[in-house]
Homo-oligomer: A and B are copies of this chain.
Amino acid sequence: MRPVSQLDVRRHNAALALAAVTARPGSTRAEVAAATGLAKATVSTVVDRLVAGGLVTETGPQPRAGRGRTGVGLALSPAGPHGIGVSIGVNHVTACLVDPLGAVRARRLRGGDNRGSSPSAVLAVVERVVRSLVGEGAVVGGVGVAVPGLVRDGVLLSAPNLGWAGVPVALDAPVPVVVQNEANAAALAERRDHADFVLVSGEVGVGAGIVRGGVLETGVHGFAGELGHVCVNPAGPRCGCGARGCLETYAGTDALPPLSAARAGDQDALATLHTAGKYLGQALSALVNLLDIPTVILGGDHAPYAPWLTEPLRGELHHRAIAARWTTPRVLASTLGREAAALGAARAATAPIADDPEAWLQSRDQAL
């Protein structure tokens, strides 16, 4: 425990007040004081600065129960710092501009196969997309980039399904850039509705974002969530990673039939999806047995296949999760579509501002 400086106190108070306004939009200064335990005069100073800096807006007089003056309601300003999120997929680059309330204000989608592509060419596309979203005119607080592979310190160490290894994800951007695994980013996007869950992000690879008590599990080195490389059959087909029988050889999108064939009731397609759902269930049973997670969300390209994957998946969970008799995990389909990873990356990119608004305000002061 070190001594606390005046600046520390100011930063702490700003973060506290902003969190109170975020948690209860419409709160007055007096209510923020009551919720935070800060003195009313302190709250006044802090809130005035948050309003002047564009983070908080006054929503007009609030009706008050009881006597006394009506207060002015406060809320996060929808014109405050937006996040830009970009997800680099095997066959798409998806991006969105997200306001401080979490709403998508603009989106971009570039189709095309990024497999075996040159990283610099794809990163140039990402930069163009980011510039185009910056061009929407909103204040931008950060850029998040989601990639389908292992990330350490802004470097994409390995993305076998892109054929990339050791790629620094550096962008020419005027704001901080946060790089993370795409399944982790997608899980952050689901966090609004769930606190303990695994988000399965299906593409050519299969990733997972594990969230417990609202906190993303990253592991000691940031490499957690590699569900696609859980072995489901030691005698199975060879995976891109070199091992045999990894889940993604059965449940990655390369192994799945076209959606149209499933919808048409094609028997081969249905049998393939049944097998994929079973193996997904086997791998997720391992996760549930190890971590006791109550909710599975099928996301990414798995979500539209959920009508065919869910039943065999549930069957395996019921059969293999040892505590299923007392607590059977729920299986849900994500409703966020392909945008989930970009959305989560955008939110992650502006999270540091919510954690330390004073630092952001100071950087704006210096920039002016």
Contact = CB atoms under 8 A, between A and B. Distances in A.
A294 B221 CA distance: 9
A218 B241 CA distance: 31
Interface in A217-233: 217-227, 229-233
B230 A290 contact: yes
11 contacts: A158-B325, A210-B290, A219-B292, A223-B292, A226-B289, A230-B289, A230-B290, A231-B285, A231-B320, A241-B322, A246-B320
A271 interface: no
A327 interface: yes
Contacts of A217: 291
A115 interface: no
A155 to B, nearest CB: 10
A1 interface: yes
A208 B225 CA distance: 19
Contacts of A223: 292, 322-323, 326-327
Given A230-B289, A243-B319, 11 more contacts: A158-B325, A220-B292, A220-B293, A221-B323, A226-B289, A229-B285, A229-B289, A231-B232, A231-B320, A243-B320, A286-B290
Contacts of A230: 285-286, 289-290
Interface in A268-296: 282-283, 285-287, 289-294
A178 B68 CA distance: 53
A290 B326 contact: no
A234 interface: yes
A355 interface: no
B242 A152 contact: no
Contacts of A320: 229, 231, 243, 246
Contacts of A222: 292
Contact of A323 (B150, B233, B246, B292): B150
Identical copies of this chain, number: 2
A43 to B, nearest CB: 15
Nearest to A282: B231
Contact of A291 (B232, B290, B319, B325): B290
Interface string A324-362: 011100000000000000000000000000000000000
A163 interface: no
A223 B196 CA distance: 14
A157 interface: yes
A165 to B, nearest CB: 10
A176 interface: no
A265 B246 CA distance: 34
Given A157-B326, A234-B282, A219 B150 contact: no
Contacts of A224: 290-292
A37 interface: yes
A326 B285 contact: no
A210 B290 CA distance: 8
Contacts of A292: 218-224
Contacts of A220: 196, 212, 292-294, 327
A256 B212 CA distance: 36
Contacts of A327: 220-221, 223
Contacts of A158: 322, 325
Interface in A197-248: 208, 210, 212, 217-227, 229-234, 241-243, 246
